[in-house]
Structure 1
């Protein structure tokens, strides 16, 4: 399943703190010009060109809506053709020697040695650093964007209505049956009927889980997609965090009377990959949604102070 089929954009970027990298702070985009220490950097506002001191703890990757999409940076990697990959590798190999910084003279000399104009090399370097992903190196994709809809909005609504009424049901009508229903409805409303391929594309976007569940195969969908007891593995830190509760093996007593108060409960959030404890909450109350909420708050809120 690709990112487009689920309605989410892929984000492969890493947040780096190096000179000339782009970051966002307070809703503005800056280019780092100098690293002061472990807490602060100097950033150049890309709109006003004015330098500002920025706290590293406040920096984050540039928002996706502020990144100029070339048609590739949010695509699933399997959707990129072999020719595009070869071009991507060629461009990255060209900028690799100057990624960690180089003077203008060095960049011009390098560009001349690989027979590429230095302004082109600058543009590739800027595209790579501003998008934070290798696919940002590719030239802007022309034509219709993936998932872009260019049919009448009412016709689009009819497609979804008829798919829900006749395809995602226990009767499991054929795709051709659904097409006929869509064509009939469009004719009744004097609308230009969508093509058969358009209807097939809308049906292909339906996840297998949703199709099985709505066509009366909820148990099959559950068996196929629900989590099953097994060894749980992750690929990188912060990919998945788990929360659990346990009663601590100590008994608290009153400071004055020394009478027992009870055994406290501890709620822990643990990163599955590294096994690092990300946050905790300690209470005499039994586990509840409040315990979970307080644990999450402890994990995600800044701890500088």
Structure 2
């Protein structure tokens, strides 16, 4: 609903300066441990206060804020008056000295101690007539240095490689979701569209696996290439309870894996380096670590999973196999039969069967290992999937005007924006997140309340469109010689493109794929859909007590 305030969505995510955000992360590392205690006494609080360089009262205040805000990093951002907002606790001249000495003295192969570096900073400040910072202040600035860059500067490439390997540890985490590996692949099967059952090409899979239990903890299937949105969707699927989703699908299967990962381990694709993903992970206390470039073995767990899933996909009609040699004379497009929704159904069955199958690494089914580990270390689930997803959507920044804001020729407005519009001169640019699959609304971050506000089209008659359709319409108008693109012409172009693809006697594959990309409200199918069962070697182990997964009738694209 336009103007809707996302429940529990207090955010300092992108409104905070880098210095404030680094301070909040450092505080979270200490307060998180304190919050695990049922009734922390003065002794525990005093130790935390010493680490934070704060008083006991201030530390108790941070603990209350952490617990009241459901454990978000942004709840620990420094609160200052408007005159000091965004400034560090130390004068800029002192910060400059610290930064210079760290670069010249600390980040060297001689690996000087923190005490030695602190003495150098004190001497440099005295020479300049500045007040010297405490050792704790220097330690906090060292703590927020990039671990890989610092290890490389002080210990060389081998030291940096150790930091990179498996997130800095060669051992498997004990708790479930201690490390989740995520990766993408194009699925080896040609799909057909819902309308004509004609080929539209191959989809993409983003999947996450828990390293501890080898359980599949989340996935998303799209027609668009991997992006930051794909990662955000997969993370939301990982973190949230899947029971309601399975019931919506009508799937009589069990998928109990849910919770926020402690660490996300990914490759170096551009989608994993987005600002949205980085700040979203920091907000929710998820460590984001990358494989060393050119070292694919560090992502071997998820790579093997993808290989297993693709080998089973080769049993489906319309498969492309792994390469042309394996495919031989098989005509993938002529035999294609599954729609996007039907493929998602099949994958849901395959995941349920995989969880019942004995894994060679454990000698036990992933489901059994998960249940054992989750009982000992219960994961933290997310109650509001949409609010969680918003934290990982792509970011744009815009200035407000008297009628709302404009993003790529489209006007957005809501009554909830009026207080921000009144203060637009003081606010400057606002942070906006949007879902590329549906541009009919965006989420604007109120810098004062740190809450996301849902804001829809200013002209409510416009249809929901995807970013892909938007860009295609703009390109079409440019080709027609339109020097300037206005909102009315843009939506008219989208409607025209949709009309052409809907009424063509025989649509091209590209037109059919375009039609499937449109943002539409998912509705149950009118009747049962024939879906091929999981292949025999992916079905559940005969010793398992749960009934085998059964076909279901209704599905909704997640």
TM range (shorter): 0.3 to 0.5
Larger RCO of the pair (alpha carbons < 8 Å, separation 6+): 2
TM-score (norm 2): 0.25
TM-score (norm 1): 0.42
